[in-house]
Chain A
Amino acid sequence: GEDVEQSLFLSVREGDSSVINCTYTDSSSTYLYWYKQEPGAGLQLLTYIFSNMDMKQDQRLTVLLNKKDKHLSLRIADTQTGDSAIYFCAESLTDSWGKLQFGAGTQVVVTP
């Protein structure tokens, strides 16, 4: 099948903003998700956005959705060392009963 694409690595200084980008495939996706994986752990749902929205803000997190370009981004304001993790974007597939398609993940490293 087609891939959800993400850049593999992002380095950011503590206190700066991080922006993680994702290109998805299914223009009819109902929901798009961001998951966070800390070292040695499973994936944790960070936030999601419904497809009829173009922006969602949740404390330090801002999700932007451009449906025309099938582009999703996650902005983390005031990045902290605890934000160092792998971030996965995922789309819900409309031709399935609830299956998600994941990207390969973006490793975010926060430096002091």
Chain B
Amino acid sequence: DVKVTQSSRYLVKRTGEKVFLECVQDMDHENMFWYRQDPGLGLRLIYFSYDVKMKEKGDIPEGYSVSREKKERFSLILESASTNQTSMYLCASSPTGTGYGNYGYTFGSGTRLTVV
């Protein structure tokens, strides 16, 4: 069964800590995405990557960075965690190009991050 795996379901970190959220996919997808999900705001795109070592800012990149050294792994980094980064973080992947129909995005289970 194809899968997107996020390394942690729940994380509690202190303000100012550097936080790494890891995501691994086993589908050989070119594209990978990081979203945050907050009640009433839906999914907001933080960063995405369409190839190894390539990254593009999404709608809310401030306070975050990403790393994609290998095709299967996309990491989200909070350089100095703040309480307003408490959220659910979702990773997704997809094959490249339009017209991929029943593939769409495959999501991980999410990481609920609490910054105290």
Residues of A whose CB lies within 8 Å of any CB of B are 1, 8, 30-31, 33, 35, 40-45, 48, 50, 88, 90, 92, 94, 97-100, 102-105
Contact = CB atoms under 8 A, between A and B. Distances in A.
Contacts of B84: none
Give the dominant DSSP class at B's interface.
loop
A103 B105 contact: no
Interface stretch (B13-21, B35-43, B61-69, B73-81): B35-43
24 contacts: A1-B59, A31-B98, A31-B100, A35-B104, A35-B107, A40-B110, A42-B4, A42-B90, A42-B109, A43-B43, A43-B92, A43-B107, A45-B102, A88-B42, A88-B43, A92-B98, A97-B50, A97-B97, A98-B31, A98-B95, A98-B98, A98-B100, A99-B48, A104-B41
B48 A31 contact: no
A86 to B, nearest CB: 9
Interface residues of B, number: 28
A105 B99 CA distance: 23
Contacts of A8: 40
Contacts of A98: 31, 94-98, 100
B42 A31 contact: no
B82 interface: no
Contacts, number: 66
A50 B105 CA distance: 15
A100 B104 contact: yes
B42 A104 contact: yes
B89 to A, nearest CB: 10
Contacts of B99: 30-31
A105 B108 CA distance: 17
B94 A42 contact: no
Task: In the A-B complex, list the 3 residue pairs whose CB atoms are closest, starting with the nearest.
Answer: A104-B42, A42-B107, A43-B107
A97 B96 CA distance: 6
Contact of A45 (B90, B96, B104, B108): B104
Nearest to A31: B101
